[in-house]
C-alpha cells in the first residue's frame, strides 16, 4: 500500500516537475537525493523499512548471495558514489559505470532525452565518468553492504581501438578489489568504434586478457541487442571457451522501432542508444538465443525494457539468472525496486 501511494505521488511530481526539467539535470537532482539517503542514518533506515527485499528473494549467482534477483543496470551511477542510497531503495545489486581508466567528460550536451509516451530514453552520454581512481575511492568508502556491486568497464574515447585491451586490463586491475563482479562493455553505441569490438577476432583478446586481470572476480561481457542471432550464439560460445562467468544481455539499441512517438520528434533527438519499453521484446529474444547457446550454469543478466515484476519474472522464466532495469527507474520513482520486489514475492507466494 505504501509503495503504491508513493509511486502515485511520484507520478504527479514527475508530470509537474521532472518532465519539465532537462533530463540530465533531473538525473543530477535525483542523484543528490539518493546520496543523501545513503549518508543519513534516519533516511536510510526509513527507506530500508519499506524497501528491504523479502528473504525468499535471495538468489545465488556468481558465487555470491544477492538479496533480490533484481538490480540496477549500469549508466545510472557512473562513479559508484550512490551505492549506499541505491541499496537502501531495494536493489539487490547495483552495476556502476561505465568506468574508464581516465576521467572523461563524455559527449557534448544535451545528450539525454526522454520519450515519455514510449517510456523510453535516448542517450549519447559517451562514458562520462571520473575514472577508475575516483570510482575506487567511492566504493572503498561505502558504509553499508545492502546491495552487491558490479563494475562496468570500458575504454577511453581517445584510446585507439587497436589498443583497447590495455584499457580494459587497467580498469579491471584498478577496481577488482571493490567489485563483486566486473563487466566488459563493448556494446555502447556512443563511443566511436566500440561496437566493432564485438567481432570475435577483436573480442577474444580483450576477454582473455581482462579475465587474467580480474583474478578471482567474476567477469562478464555486455552485448548489443542489434547483433544477429548467429553472432549472439558465437559470442556466447566464446565467453564459455574463455571461461567467463556470464553475459549481460542487452545494452541499448541503435534501432528506432517500435515507437509510437512521431519519427520527426525522435529524429530531432539525434544519435544515441534507445532504452526502455521499446527494447523489451528484442531483449527477451536475445536472452532466449543466448540461454540456448551457453551452459546452464553460466550466469546471464537480462536487461532491457523491464518495467514491473511480471517483466522480471518473465526474464527469470526464460533463463536469466539475474535481471536489471534502468529507464523505468526514471519514470516509476524511488520505490520502483521495492515495488518489484514486493510483486515478485507475492507472485511466488500466490501466483498473482
- Helical H runs in the chain? 2-16, 23-39, 41-51, 83-88, 132-140, 164-175, 200-214, 229-242, 263-269, 280-293, 309-317, 327-332, 336-350
Q: Is 59 annotated as a binding residue?
A: no
- Residue matched to cell numbers 572503498: 140
Q: Is 107 annotated as a binding residue?
A: no
Residue 57's nearest CA partner among 342, 318, 320, 248 is: 342
Q: Is 42 annotated as a binding residue?
A: no
Overall size of the chain counted in residues: 352
* Residues annotated as catalytic (active site), given as ranges: 188
Q: Is 152 annotated as a binding residue?
A: yes
Q: Is 113 annotated as a binding residue?
A: no
Q: Is 253 annotated as a binding residue?
A: no
Q: Is 19 annotated as a binding residue?
A: no
Q: Is 326 annotated as a binding residue?
A: yes
The answer to whether 167 touches 159, Cβ cutoff 8 Å, is yes
Cell numbers at 311, concatenated: 517483466
- Residue matched to cell numbers 536469466: 320
Cell numbers at 173, concatenated: 586491475
The Cα-based distances of 319 to 16, 66, 287 in angstroms read 39, 17, 7
Q: How far apart are CA 163 and CA 338, in angstroms?
A: 42
Q: Is 321 annotated as a binding residue?
A: no
- Residue matched to cell numbers 562513479: 79
Q: Is 185 annotated as a binding residue?
A: yes
Q: Is 305 annotated as a binding residue?
A: yes
Q: Is 98 annotated as a binding residue?
A: yes
In the annotated binding site for substrate, the residues are 78, 123-127, 185, 190, 251-252
In the annotated binding site, the residues are 74-78, 98, 123-127, 152, 185, 190, 222, 250-252, 276, 305, 326-327
In the annotated binding site for FMN, the residues are 74-78, 98, 152, 185, 222, 250, 276, 305, 326-327
Amino acid at each position: 500500500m505504501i509503495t503504491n501511494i508513493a509511486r502515485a505521488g511520484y507520478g504527479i511530481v514527475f508530470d509537474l516537475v521532472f518532465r519539465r526539467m532537462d533530463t540530465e539535470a533531473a538525473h543530477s537532482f535525483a542523484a543528490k537525493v539518493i546520496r543523501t539517503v545513503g549518508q543519513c542514518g534516519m533516511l536510510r533506515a526509513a527507506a530500508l523499512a519499506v524497501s528491504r527485499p523479502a528473504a525468499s528473494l535471495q538468489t545465488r549467482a556468481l558465487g555470491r548471495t544477492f538479496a533480490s534477483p533484481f538490480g540496477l543496470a549500469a549508466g545510472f551511477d557512473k562513479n559508484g558514489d550512490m551505492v549506499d542510497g541505491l541499496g537502501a531503495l531495494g536493489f539487490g545489486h547495483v552495476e556502476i559505470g561505465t568506468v574508464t581508466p581516465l576521467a572523461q567528460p563524455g559527449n557534448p550536451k544535451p545528450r539525454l532525452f526522454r520519450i515519455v509516451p514510449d517510456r523510453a530514453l535516448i542517450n549519447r552520454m559517451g562514458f562520462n565518468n571520473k575514472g577508475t581512481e575516483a570510482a575506487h575511492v567511492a566504493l572503498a568508502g561505502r558504509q553499508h553492504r545492502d546491495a552487491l556491486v558490479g563494475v562496468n568497464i570500458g575504454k577511453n574515447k581517445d584510446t585507439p581501438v587497436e589498443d583497447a585491451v590495455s584499457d580494459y586490463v587497467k580498469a579491471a586491475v584498478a577496481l577488482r578489489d571493490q567489485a563483486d563482479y566486473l563487466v566488459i562493455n563493448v556494446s555502447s553505441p556512443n563511443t566511436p568504434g566500440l561496437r566493432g569490438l564485438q567481432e570475435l577476432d577483436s573480442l577474444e583478446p580483450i576477454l582473455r586478457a581482462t579475465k587474467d586481470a580480474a583474478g578471482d572476480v567474476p567477469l562478464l561481457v555486455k552485448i548489443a541487442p542489434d547483433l544477429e542471432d548467429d553472432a549472439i550464439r558465437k559470442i556466447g560460445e566464446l565467453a564459455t571457451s574463455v571461461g567467463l562467468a556470464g553475459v549481460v544481455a542487452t545494452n541499448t539499441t541503435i534501432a528506432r522501432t517500435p515507437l509510437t512517438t512521431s519519427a520527426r520528434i525522435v529524429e530531432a533527438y539525434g544519435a544515441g542508444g534507445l532504452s526502455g519499453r521499446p527494447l523489451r521484446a528484442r531483449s527477451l529474444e536475445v536472452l532466449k538465443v543466448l540461454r540456448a547457446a551457453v551452459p546452464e550454469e553460466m550466469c546471464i543478466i537480462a536487461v532491457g525494457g523491464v518495467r514491473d515484476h511480471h517483466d522480471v519474472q518473465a526474464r527469470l522464466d526464460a533463463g536469466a539468472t539475474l535481471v536489471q532495469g534502468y529507464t523505468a527507474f526514471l519514470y516509476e520513482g524511488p520505490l520502483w525496486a521495492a515495488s518489484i520486489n514486493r510483486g515478485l514475492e507475492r507472485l511466488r507466494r500466490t501466483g498473482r
